Amino acid sequence: MPIISVSEAVATRRSVRAFLDRPVELAVLERIMQKAQMAPSGCNYQPWEATILTGEPLRDLQQAMLRTPFQEPREYVVQPEGIPAEYHRRLGEITGARLAAEGVARDDAEARAAIVHNNFTSYGAPVVLFCYLPRIMGPPQWSDVGMWLQTIMLLLLEEGLDSVPQEFLSHHGRLIKNHLGISDESHIFFCGLGIGYADKSAPSYLYQRTRIPYREAVRFRGFQ
């Protein structure tokens, strides 16, 4: 089992968009989920819930998503109206780098649509975690779920695995919940998390990821 530091896991984690056709052992996933349950949560609510699929159950759901239009109304708004231009610039920067690595021109609508289409099959990931939480939970609990998912993604790296978080799958939130036997009335779907072994030779794995300097996001006061 690969042993890496937390710093290395944070630095090397990336949203993988090409996976090898290699199964993931249940025992490994169970070990990760047990460890991730220690993620922090306000009031110790532990509001996260998930179903993890592989094999035929996963393929059946993916085929259902492929043949079904996006739901209306949306499960939730991924990109709120009125987002300042700086945030759109950050999105465009990393999307542009990835498309360039894959040899896709920004104005090639057909090729870009094909890439988006790969979301439905989680880019070939052999395992997908489908995450949801009770509707009664508010923004603080959504934050807790995010911390849980980040914990899982870092623990996956410790096991030599990779992942891709997918808010995109919320376009089929109700369909997914119905497939999983989860009540739409009581629960809201958050995201998928594709899990597997990255194809590190794929162009989509090799592009340079960008982040703003931490000093643009964090201020320090009171230090000598």
Q: Which residues make beta-bridge pairs with 127?
A: 54, 195
For residue 54, the one-letter residue type is T
Q: What is the largest CA-CA distance in the chain?
A: 60
CATH superfamily for domain 6-75+121-209: NADH Oxidase (3.40.109.10)
Q: Each residue of 191-204: pLDDT tens digit?
A: 999 999 999 999 99
Sign of CA dihedral 9, 11, 14, 19: negative
Q: H-helix or E-strand containing 162? A: strand 162-166
Q: Kindly report the pTM of this predicted structure.
A: 0.95
Distance CA(133)–CA(51), nearest Å, equals: 11
Average pLDDT in the chain:
95
Q: Each residue of 159-202: pLDDT tens digit?
A: 999 999 999 999 999 999 999 999 999 999 999 999 999 999 99
| Tokens (6 digits) for 114 | 């094909």
- What is the arithmetic mean of pLDDT over 25-32? 98
